[in-house]
DNA sequence: CTTATTTGTCTAGTTCTATAGACAACCAAC
DNA sequence: GTTGGTTGTCTATAGAACTAGACAAATAAG
């Protein structure tokens, strides 16, 4: 039935954990919130009970379920933060009401030659100098996203200073003469978290990150900002609201 | 440096493979396309050369790299299909020009009582009868997405028949009196592929799926369609174009 | 209180993962 | 052709993951 595979580099207990996680997400145990017994899961997955226990232990560590002896395992409701992807998304504004406190921290900024995709997105010559800004987005002291932004170097040379002063990219851009800017497009995909992601976002191996690639620009003007972000898929959903539709 | 962790249910070689995959995605080896030698990677990751070889073998199986004896390993450029998420996205239309042939196939359709989220999204009473339609989206015979759609049962009872006749949900809806419908919103997250995903989308353990949850409705009307889709993250990026912006 | 059910813990044996080292096969450059 | 660098293959060993079975401990229901 639930064909698990061996020799894939993913331990059986983790495949089972992923499966149960997906089932919870599909609302499988919605009525009572109770998972099948360990014995039942073991036969369902065609696996030893100890292997199921390892999977359940992992889910319990992640706070997905709560297990007590003699009773069973129960789903713990947990919501992901909803991160809006709209024409005018701002990091902090979009998360308001969902968390007590948001913070975005600049990790590093430097000038570097534009790589091919950066140059193309910003309409610059290849290898043209660009300002690179690495940032970490946090909500209630939990890291949510790791983003790298690129800007044309000459026009935005003092952006990091303004950012330090204001604590907001939007305001720092305004100080550089960008009155109003909008998100032009966003490409979204996903991948297993790399070691770097795990360090930055405090994730465990096997975690998944949402990868977004977006370009922001001035209204009626050209592109201003090229960004690559990595979100912890455990913690956020990207929410695309259609401005036209309703 | 690249802190790999043990006893996590993810074999070291797979963590390394994920890491190299991410590095390729970040354009790390863009200049020559050549990866470091196995020996170099082994020291970089603090691991035995055989472990690195297992990682490279996995990447080669996935078509990410090409390895030849005496030369080394080289990145194979491979593009993901871009799946547009806009107000008026249609499965086949959005992929035109990227692949030779797209196909969407109905797997199953049945009437069932609405679960809580379905009822809420479609503005129906809980447990109200809804039509559930399971579909598989393919491009050039490769499965791309697995979607489940829900519609109000009474109004769209004959939708499956119309779909069989026209081969398109848009046209089938038109036959049910829905003149023009638009995407109202889409929530996007990601997770490891479950066993069911692996079967439906022909994926390997450790693969990642993009999960979308969307509601479509009539222009100036209420919600009509509630959908949950699962995309192979290896094969697609979701592309959000802002209609207002530019 | 008694009983059936369910989770927790222990031991032992097997299979997979990772390390270590050695050497062959192949490629590119001289 | 020779050399240096790189990937391919083999053997052996240690440790982690998985299986199997048994029994204790906690819960819930009668």
Domain check: are A109 and A33 in the same one? no
* B191·A22 Cβ contact <8 A: yes
Q: Write out residues whose CB is closer than 7 A to strand C.
A: A 6-9, 35, 37-39, 50, 53, 56, 67-73; B 11-13, 47-48, 50-51, 54, 68-71
Q: Considering A60, A75, A90, which residue would you say is the last residue of a domain?
A: A75
> Residues B137-188: pLDDT tens digits?
999 999 999 999 999 999 999 999 999 999 889 999 999 999 888 999 999 9
Instruction: Give the CATH number of the domain where residue A58 resides.
Output: 1.10.10.10
Q: How long is the CA B42 to C1' C24 vector, in angstroms? A: 21
Domain check: are A33 and A87 in the same one? no
* A239·B197 Cβ contact <8 A: no
Instruction: Give the CATH number of the domain where residue B135 resides.
Output: 3.40.1410.10
Strands of B96-243, DSSP E: 102-113, 129-139, 142-152, 181-192, 208-218, 223-232, 236-241
pLDDT at B244: 53
> Residues A86-125: pLDDT tens digits?
888 777 788 888 999 999 999 999 999 999 999 999 999 9
Q: Which of A3, A87, A115 sits opposite B199 (nearest CB)?
A: A3
Best probe of the B interface among A7, A47, A188, A196, by most B CBs < 10 A, is A188
Residue B236 lies in a domain: yes
Closest B-chain CA to A228: B26
Domain check: are A115 and A222 in the same one? yes
* B183·A210 Cβ contact <8 A: no
Domain check: are B19 and B122 in the same one? no
Residue A7 lies in a domain: no
* A238·B25 Cβ contact <8 A: no
What is the percent of chain A with per-residue pLDDT over 70, rounded to a whole number? 98
Query: Coil, helix or strand for A145?
Result: strand
Domain check: are A104 and A196 in the same one? yes
DSSP string computed for A186-241:
EEEEEEEPPHHHHHHHT--TT-EEEEEEEEEEETTS-EEEEEEEEEETTTEEEEEE
pLDDT at B246: 41
* Domains identified in chain A, total number: 2
Domain check: are A43 and A155 in the same one? no
CA A154, A158, A159, A160 torsion-angle sign: positive
> Residues B7-57: pLDDT tens digits?
899 999 999 999 999 999 988 998 899 999 999 999 999 999 999 999 999
């Amino acid at each position: 039935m639930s064909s698990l595979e061996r020799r894939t580099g993913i331990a059986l207990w983790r495949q089972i954990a992923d499966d149960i996680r997906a089932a919870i997400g599909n609302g499988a145990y919605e009525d009572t919130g109770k998972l099948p017994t360990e014995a039942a899961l073991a036969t369902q997955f065609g696996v030893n009970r100890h292997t199921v226990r390892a999977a359940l232990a992992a889910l319990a560590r992640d706070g997905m379920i709560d297990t007590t002896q003699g009773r069973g395992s129960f789903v713990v409701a947990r919501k992901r933060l909803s991160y809006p992807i709209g024409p005018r998304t701002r990091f902090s504004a979009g998360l308001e009401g969902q968390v007590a406190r948001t913070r975005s921290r600049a990790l590093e900024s430097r000038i570097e030659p534009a790589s091919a995709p950066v140059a193309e997105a910003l309409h610059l010559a290849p290898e043209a100098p660009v300002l690179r800004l690495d940032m970490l987005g946090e909500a209630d002291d939990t890291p949510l996203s790791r983003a790298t932004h690129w800007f044309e170097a000459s026009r935005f040379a003092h952006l990091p200073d303004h950012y330090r002063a204001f604590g907001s990219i939007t305001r720092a851009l305004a100080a550089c003469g960008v009155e109003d800017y909008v998100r032009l497009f966003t490409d979204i995909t996903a991948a297993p978290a790399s070691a770097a992601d795990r360090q930055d976002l405090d994730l465990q191996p096997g975690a998944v990150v949402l990868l977004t690639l977006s370009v922001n620009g001035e209204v009626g003007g050209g592109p201003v900002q090229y960004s690559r972000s990595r979100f912890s898929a455990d913690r956020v959903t990207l929410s695309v609201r259609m401005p036209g539709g309703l």
